[in-house]
């Protein structure tokens, strides 16, 4: 073709057409045969055994071998991708007790989920211990159960059993279950659909305002009716100002009294954080703010360099990132082709880590370099650090480096990230060749700076523990933040 622009345009049309056709033909009910499922399962098992840095950290080799054998027997003659994921793969990966090791759907199935309206359980729920309560209806729907209603069972399955079955399919660091509980609370309708299937009607046993157990039957949430519901609610809903481009990742406000600032950090990866840290701590320094509340409750981690930089603005002691950070492998071979950007990951392993006398490949900069407190615009007041189950990975590194210092108070609930350590640093995706299901798996083991052997398997425990409050759920306020503000207020008096 003489005109290159016409040729490029034609090729673009062909690509888009093929994508549309493949998307249209995708069938989530497609059944994979036992032979191809076993091939994917066996390959994943070999990769875990050969490349995972902490496969036997919390579960012995003998026990893991039993799990590998047990879950292989659950593969049926034919299974859909969701069945294979939630019945076989996810429960197996849960037994590793590594928060960075998880099963992700194939990309084509994930796109299908994003673009498809599925009927689902009609309520969002908050779960903790053996308790399950209603928070909000899905899609703005209006149903008879009020916020804070205690649920005893759904379709004959007790609330505690529902939570237990879901927990058995979610990753966690060691036995720090709080992160998985918060994940269930944030994704209950989707998880219930994935694990227990779809029902058009749900039989609910709940506690009424008089403390009596009652039962009711509720219809599933049908997205097709969502537009009608939204029109009905439109006159009563107050439009909220849309957050700025980076505000979903981080915000900071100084109270009108000047007594404290509230900084919320939801990640250490996005939001132009270097600039945000520089401007925020410059402002705190200029106004001599005596108290800073840092909210890391929903910070799942991110770039270690950025979490380290943030810690330097707050710490009064030099610190290292880790006592040890290492891997036993020098490359991803012979499975390089199964990894996303496998060759690039191999180069990263070569450049990032070097072999020591113990035969392991260590990330020296994390183990040996001491980071000193920032001199310019360092925060000199009292720090109130709020943590919870979703506080994970790099956010746990921050909490670990700061805890125990005289000016720091940790408040909230046990972190989901391990106090002793975790596996991470580099976390590529592995693609299973037949189903295209993805295994997210770390390559390095990191043991926390000043780690304590007694904390192995647990998250970081706050100085002031504030558990989930049923009363706060009913009345819709933030109990943890309220407690912190009350502490600051009392100190002022």
State the CATH class of domain 250-321+369-417+463-492.
Answer: alpha beta
**CA-to-CA separations, 146 to 55, 132, 341, in angstroms, rounded:** 44, 13, 48
Residue 116 pLDDT: 85
Helix (H) or strand (E) holding 395: helix 394-402
User: Can you list the positions of beta strands (E) in 24-110?
Assistant: 32-33, 78-79, 102-104
H, E, C per residue of 58-82 = CCCHHHHHHHHHHHHCCCCCEECHH
CA distance 487 to 122: 38
Tokens for 321? 């990132």
Q: Return the closest-CA partner of residue 48 out of 104, 87, 102, 88.
A: 102
For residue 295, give every residue at least 6 positions away whose Cβ sits within 8 Å of its Cβ, in sequence order, or none: 262, 263, 264, 265, 386, 481
- Note whether 303 and 426 are within 8 A (CB): no
Residue 183 pLDDT: 93
Q: Return the closest-CA partner of residue 168 out of 150, 191, 202, 193.
A: 191
Write out the DSSP string of 111-176.
Answer: HHHHH----B-SEEEEEETTEEEEEEEGGG---SPPTTPBEEEETTEEHHHHHHHHHTTS--STT-
Mean pLDDT of residues grouped by 10 in the chain (493 residues)? 44 43 67 97 98 96 97 96 96 96 95 88 93 89 83 96 96 92 94 92 93 92 60 43 74 92 95 96 96 96 95 97 95 96 93 93 95 96 96 96 96 95 94 97 95 91 95 94 93 69
- Note whether 355 and 267 are within 8 A (CB): no
Residue 388 pLDDT: 96
Q: Return the closest-CA partner of residue 444 out of 382, 363, 333, 381.
A: 363
Dihedral (C-alpha) 102, 105, 106, 109: value to the nearest 10 degrees?
-170
Tokens for 366? 């994390």
- Report the sign of the C-alpha dihedral through residues 50, 56, 57, 58, in that order: positive
Tokens for 98? 């590594």
For residue 439, give every residue at least 6 positions away whose Cβ sits within 8 Å of its Cβ, in sequence order, or none: 44, 47, 48, 89, 93, 101, 102, 103, 104, 429, 430, 432
According to DSSP, residue 414 is labeled: -
H, E, C per residue of 229-281 = HHHHHCCCCCCCCCCCCCCCCEEEEECCCCCEEEEEECCECCCCHHHHHHHHH
* Count of C-beta atoms within a 10 Å radius of residue 395: 29
**CA-to-CA separations, 396 to 186, 242, 410, in angstroms, rounded:** 20, 30, 12
- Note whether 216 and 144 are within 8 A (CB): yes
CA distance 141 to 352: 51
Residue 237 pLDDT: 44
- Note whether 458 and 174 are within 8 A (CB): yes
Residue 230 pLDDT: 43
- Note whether 104 and 110 are within 8 A (CB): yes
- Note whether 413 and 403 are within 8 A (CB): no
Q: Is the peptide bond before 334 cis (omega within 30 degrees of 0)?
A: yes
Residue 166 pLDDT: 96
Domain boundaries, the chain: 123-221, 250-321+369-417+463-492
Burial bucket for residue 26 (CB in 10 Å: 0-12, 13-18, 19+): middle
- Note whether 54 and 423 are within 8 A (CB): yes
pTM above 0.85, yes or no: yes
Evaluate whether the domain defined by 123-221 bears CATH number 3.40.50.2300: no
């Amino acid at each position: 073709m003489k005109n290159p622009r016409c040729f490029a345009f034609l090729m673009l049309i062909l690509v888009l057409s093929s994508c549309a056709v493949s998307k249209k033909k995708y069938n989530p009910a497609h059944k994979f045969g036992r032979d191809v499922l076993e091939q994917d399962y066996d390959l994943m098992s070999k990769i875990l055994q050969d490349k995972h840095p902490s496969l036997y950290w919390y579960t012995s080799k003998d026990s893991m071998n039993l799990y590998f054998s047990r879950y292989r027997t659950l593969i049926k003659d034919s299974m859909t991708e969701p069945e294979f994921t939630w019945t076989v793969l996810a429960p197996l990966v849960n037994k590793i007790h590594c928060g960075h090791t998880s099963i992700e759907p194939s990309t084509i199935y994930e796109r299908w989920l994003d673009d498809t309206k599925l009927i689902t359980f009609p309520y969002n729920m908050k779960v903790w211990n053996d308790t399950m309560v209603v928070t909000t209806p899905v899609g703005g729907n209006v149903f008879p159960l009020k916020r804070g209603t205690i649920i005893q069972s759904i379709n004959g399955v007790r609330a505690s059993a529902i939570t237990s079955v879901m927990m058995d399919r979610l990753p966690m660091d060691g036995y720090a279950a709080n992160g998985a509980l918060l994940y269930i609370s944030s994704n209950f309708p989707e998880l219930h659909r994935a694990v227990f299937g779809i029902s058009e009607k749900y039989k609910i046993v709940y506690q009424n305002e008089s403390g009596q157990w009652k039962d009711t039957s509720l219809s599933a949430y049908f997205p097709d009716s969502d537009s009608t519901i939204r029109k009905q609610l439109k006159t009563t809903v107050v439009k909220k100002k849309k957050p700025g481009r980076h505000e979903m990742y981080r915000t900071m406000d100084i109270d009108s009294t000047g007594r404290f600032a509230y900084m919320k950090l939801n990640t250490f990866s996005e939001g132009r954080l270097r600039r945000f840290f520089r401007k925020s701590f410059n402002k705190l320094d200029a106004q001599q703010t005596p108290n800073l509340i840092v909210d890391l409750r929903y910070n799942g981690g991110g770039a270690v360099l950025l979490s380290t930089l943030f810690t330097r603005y707050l710490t009064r002691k030099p610190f290292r990132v880790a006592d040890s950070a290492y891997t036993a492998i020098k490359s991803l071979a012979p499975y390089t082709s199964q990894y996303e950007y496998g060759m690039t990951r191999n180069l990263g392993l070569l450049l990032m880590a070097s072999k020591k006398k113990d035969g392991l490949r260590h990330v020296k900069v994390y183990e040996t370099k001491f980071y000193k407190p920032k001199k310019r615009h360092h925060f000199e007041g009292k720090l109130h650090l709020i943590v919870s189950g979703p506080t994970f990975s790099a956010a746990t590194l921050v909490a670990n480096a700061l805890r125990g210092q005289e000016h720091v108070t940790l408040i909230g609930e046990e972190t989901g990230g391990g106090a002793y350590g975790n596996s991470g640093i580099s976390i590529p995706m592995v693609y299973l060749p037949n189903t295209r299901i993805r295994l997210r798996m770390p390559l390095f083991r990191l043991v926390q700076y000043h780690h304590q052997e007694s904390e192995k398997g647990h998250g970081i425990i706050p100085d002031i523990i504030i558990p989930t409050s049923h009363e706060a759920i009913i009345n819709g306020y933030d109990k943890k933040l309220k407690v912190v503000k009350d502490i600051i207020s009392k100190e002022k008096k």
